[in-house]
Amino acid sequence: MDVRVDEITGVRFAHGPDPFPSFPGREVLTVEFLGPGGQSGLTCFVYDLYDGQRMRPEKLAAWRALREWYGNRDESRVDRGRLLPPAA
């Protein structure tokens, strides 16, 4: 895999149901870095999200803090690591 930071054009945050049927009722938190053309370059899942049946609040807080850093939007555009204003 080759992911170049200077080619990242956006970042997308998702919070939704776990796509794997072996984890019913659970959710996943992801951060997806987009490359040229808005295509996925790298998707990161928050690791060790649950403590038994309960989502770890510190994991959710860290994901929310990163999302806030990137404009508190589901998807933000970036240029060389800098946040760009929302598309009009």
Per-residue pLDDT tens digits of the chain, which is 88 residues long: 566 788 889 999 999 998 888 888 899 999 999 988 888 888 999 999 999 889 999 999 999 999 998 889 999 998 877 888 877 6
Q: Is residue 15 part of a domain?
A: yes
d(CA 17, CA 88): 30
26: phi then psi, degrees, rounded to nearest 5: -95, 160
Look up residue 38 and give its DSSP letter: G
Q: Judge whether 75 and 83 are in contact, CB under 8 Å.
A: no
Q: Is residue 62 part of a domain?
A: yes
pLDDT at 16: 93
At 64, which CATH number? 3.40.1570.10
Q: What is the pTM of this model?
A: 0.83
User: b vs e for 37-60, b when ≥16 Cβ sit within 10 Å of the residue's Cβ?
Assistant: eeeebeeeebeebeeeeeeeeebe
pLDDT at 88: 62
pLDDT at 1: 57
In which domain, by residue range, is 68 found?
Answer: 5-83
